[in-house]
């Protein structure tokens, strides 16, 4: 049990703890190396995207640290407590990323779960300095104490937790593939007009039966959007249902939030997933009552409409209320939901550009959002498309629910395994 496990510090189980460059390197948009900080760390991984700054090799060689297969990363400035594992990426660190090189005699994955634990997260948040931008010094990281079991127990605990996270990762990859399949069909039918062009060439549209092919016109005509299939309409977001701008409960409602209740969706709850999987806050009955006119039914499409994350689109799988930074579409006809969602999902950059024109803070208000044009096929074709993609999105939702369950299981087991409150049997299963 935990009372017999020795107490160690992070300094004692690592060969080195340090941070990155206290300054700014020379950037090169065509460089092969990335300059990362704490905000590039998420869920045990280094996240590199289109906004990550690049440099050439000379800057990398000048500022690189001793990162290797034993390296864990923690954000220690600004956003605190993000965790990453170095896996050979072409990166070097900024000052908000701390690196820990774990000794070969200690299970690195076990230490990673120690860093994700509530005990460590509370430790760095409670002892951080700075009023506006929080900071955790390397001394605090080195001095953090925790109980470390024998190597065999470390391996068993890490294996259980890694297996859960691996299943979550597999589901996430499956969902990514399923969405790509749905988007590929949307693009073929409603962006590239492949079936229409095939019929114009006297060919049978590829990959569909005769009945479905008959729903596509045989001609493209000029429109304000350029060439579009004959007979298709140019509608607007507002034509698909009611547009609702979210609202935060007034401060005078003291008990507006609760541990459980109606999910309160904010931009920080919206990531790359198709569905809102979880929210950081929930509204109580009194909180919902204060903003009941803004209540969103299950299946509403939520789109972030302000700030750097503007244009992200997700589906709320349950009743929800959002804050004022989100415009949502309460779709009037169920069979149009997947079509409109996939349309909006692929237009993030367009929405961001519209909202960025003439404003310091990117924002797109309700009236502008409502008037976004949507090229709309016939009702019969919309039904056909919905039948084609609904099973894909349904499977995505099922996997998302399973991942919620797995995450909850991991978060429940984590502190109990790290403290020895529960033990594993000889097969590495919870005894």
Q: What is the pTM assigned to this prediction?
A: 0.88
**What is the percent of the chain with per-residue pLDDT over 70, rounded to a whole number?**
97
pLDDT at 92: 95
Cα 140 → chain centroid: 30
pLDDT at 14 over 90: yes
Which residue, among 113, 32, 30, 99, has the nearest Cα to 66 in the 3D structure?
99
CATH code linked to domain 7-148: 3.90.220.20
Rounded CA-CA distance 24/330 in Å is 45
Rounded CA-CA distance 321/292 in Å is 8
**In sequence order, what DSSP letters do the residues of 20-43 get, joined into one string?**
-BSS-----TT-SEEEE-GGGEET
**Helices 118-127 and 108-116: crossing angle, nearest 10°?**
60
Average pLDDT over residues 105-119: 97
| In contact, 164 and 177? CB cutoff 8 Å | no
pLDDT at 50: 84
**What is the percent of the chain with per-residue pLDDT over 90, rounded to a whole number?**
88
pLDDT at 1 over 50: no
Residues 6+ away with beta carbon under 8 Å from 69: 86, 87, 88
What are the phi and psi torsion angles at 166 (to 5°)? -65, -40
What is the longest distance spanned by two Cα atoms in the chain? 79
pLDDT per residue over 46-91, tens digit each?
A: 999 888 999 999 999 999 999 999 999 999 999 899 999 999 999 9
Rounded CA-CA distance 151/107 in Å is 7
Which residue, among 92, 176, 100, 188, has the nearest Cα to 136 in the 3D structure?
100
Rounded CA-CA distance 156/167 in Å is 17
* C-beta pairs of 356-365 under 8 Å, 24+ apart in sequence: 361/306, 361/307, 362/306, 362/307, 362/308, 362/310, 363/305, 363/306, 363/307, 363/310, 364/305, 364/306, 364/310, 364/327, 365/305
CATH 3.90.220.20 fits 233-376, yes or no: yes
pLDDT at 426 over 70: no
Rounded CA-CA distance 29/137 in Å is 31
| In contact, 35 and 92? CB cutoff 8 Å | yes
Domain boundaries, the chain: 7-148, 233-376
Rounded CA-CA distance 116/164 in Å is 15
Burial 74-97 (b: 16+ CB within 10 A, else e): bbbbbebbbbbbbeeeebbbbbbb
399, two tokens = 């996997």
Rounded CA-CA distance 154/231 in Å is 65
Burial 221-242 (b: 16+ CB within 10 A, else e): eeeeeeebbeebeeeebbebbe
DSSP H helices, 242-365, are: 285-290, 334-345, 348-356
Strands 262-265, 321-322: pairing is parallel
- Identical fold for domains 7-148 and 233-376, yes or no, is yes
Burial class for 72, CB neighbours closer than 10 Å (0-12, 13-18, 19+): buried
pLDDT at 98: 97
Look at 113-127, 245-259, 344-358 and tell me which has the smallest mean pLDDT: 344-358
Look at 186-195, 331-340, 360-369 and tell me which has the smallest mean pLDDT: 360-369
Query: In which band, very low, low, confident or very high, does the pLDDT at 152 lie, cut at 50, 70 and 90?
Result: very high
The backbone region for 223, taken as left when phi is positive above 0, alpha when psi lies in -120 to 50, beta otherwise, is beta
Average pLDDT over residues 226-245: 97
């Amino acid at each position: 049990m935990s009372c017999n496990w020795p107490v160690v510090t992070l300094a004692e189980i690592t060969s080195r703890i340090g941070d990155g460059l206290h300054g700014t390197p020379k950037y090169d948009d065509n460089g092969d190396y990335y300059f990362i900080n704490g905000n590039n760390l998420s869920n045990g991984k280094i996240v590199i995207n289109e906004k990550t700054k690049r440099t050439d090799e000379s800057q990398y060689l000048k500022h690189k640290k001793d990162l290797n297969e034993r390296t864990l990363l923690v954000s220690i400035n600004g956003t605190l407590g993000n965790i990453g594992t170095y896996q050979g990426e072409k990166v070097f660190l900024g000052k908000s990323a701390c690196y820990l090189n774990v000794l070969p005699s200690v299970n690195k994955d076990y230490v990673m779960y120690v860093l994700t634990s509530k005990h460590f997260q509370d430790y760095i948040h409670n002892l951080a300095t700075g009023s506006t931008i929080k900071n955790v010094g390397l001394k605090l990281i080195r001095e953090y104490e925790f109980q470390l079991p024998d190597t065999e127990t470390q391996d068993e605990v890490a294996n259980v937790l890694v297996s859960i996270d691996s299943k979550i990762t597999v589901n996430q990859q499956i969902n990514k593939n399923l969405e790509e399949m749905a988007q590929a069909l949307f693009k073929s039918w409603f962006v590239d007009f492949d079936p229409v062009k095939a019929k114009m060439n006297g060919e049978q549209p590829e990959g569909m039966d005769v009945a479905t092919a008959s729903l596509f016109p045989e001609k493209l005509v000029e429109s304000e959007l350029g060439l579009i299939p004959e007979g298709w309409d140019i509608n607007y977001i507002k034509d698909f249902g009611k547009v609702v701008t979210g609202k935060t409960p007034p401060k005078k409602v003291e008990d507006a939030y609760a541990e459980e209740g109606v999910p309160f969706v904010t931009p920080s709850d919206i990531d790359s997933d198709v569905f809102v999987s979880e929210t950081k806050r929930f509204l109580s009955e009194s909180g919902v009552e204060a903003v009941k006119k803004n209540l969103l039914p299950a299946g509403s499409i939520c789109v972030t409409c302000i700030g750097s994350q503007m244009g992200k689109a997700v589906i709320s799988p349950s009743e929800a209320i959002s804050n004022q930074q989100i415009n949502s579409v309460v779709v009037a006809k169920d069979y149009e939901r997947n079509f409109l969602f996939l349309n909006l999902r692929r237009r993030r950059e367009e929405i961001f550009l519209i909202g960025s024109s003439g404003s310091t803070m990117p924002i797109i208000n309700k009236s502008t959002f409502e008037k976004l044009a949507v090229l709309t096929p016939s009702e019969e074709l919309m039904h056909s498309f919905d039948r084609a993609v609904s099973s894909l999105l349904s499977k995505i939702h099922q996997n998302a629910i399973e991942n919620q369950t797995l995450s909850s299981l991991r978060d429940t087991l984590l502190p109990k395994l790290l403290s020895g409150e529960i033990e594993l049997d000889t097969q590495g299963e919870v005894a």
